[in-house]
Amino acid sequence: MQGHPHSEQESPKDAYAKFNGTAPIPVWSAHERVRLNRGGNRAVNSALHAIATTQVARGGPGGDYVAKQQAAGKTKREAVRLLRRRVSDRVFQVLRTIESSIENRTQGPLSAAA
């Protein structure tokens, strides 16, 4: 597969973002624009959207992030999309932590005796 543009293996975090629909799709006619990914698991994407909009409405760290992105010239829609990807990355990090704690628990002293 030499010369294939996607020959590098994507990171698990990026694969999770593609799975849940928060990975941006580049717009080939523009250099810095991306469009919304309509694919992915819609239930997970809906939950991430609910988390992001709640953070914006309640003025938490998500609201600060959106305000910062808007000050940088992004529209509110683009800023919320970026926040949703950021929330996706955080959820992935938590899932990995839970997964490793479960693996550690199953490799405890009782599993060694079996």
20-64 per-position pLDDT tens digit: 888 877 777 666 666 667 778 889 989 999 999 999 999 888 999
**Helix 76-106 vs helix 12-20: crossing angle, to nearest 10:** 120
Q: Please say if the pLDDT value at position 94 is more than 60.
A: yes
| pLDDT, tens digit (0-9, with 9 covering 90-100), for 103-113 | 887 776 555 55
Give Cα 25 distance to the centre of its chain: 13
- Is 90:59 a contact under the CB 8 Å cutoff? no
The pTM is what? 0.75
Q: How many Cα atoms occupy the beta-carbon half-sphere of 31 within 13 Å?
A: 0
What kind and span of H or E run contains 81?
helix 76-106
pLDDT at 108: 61
Distance CA 84, CA 62 (A): 9
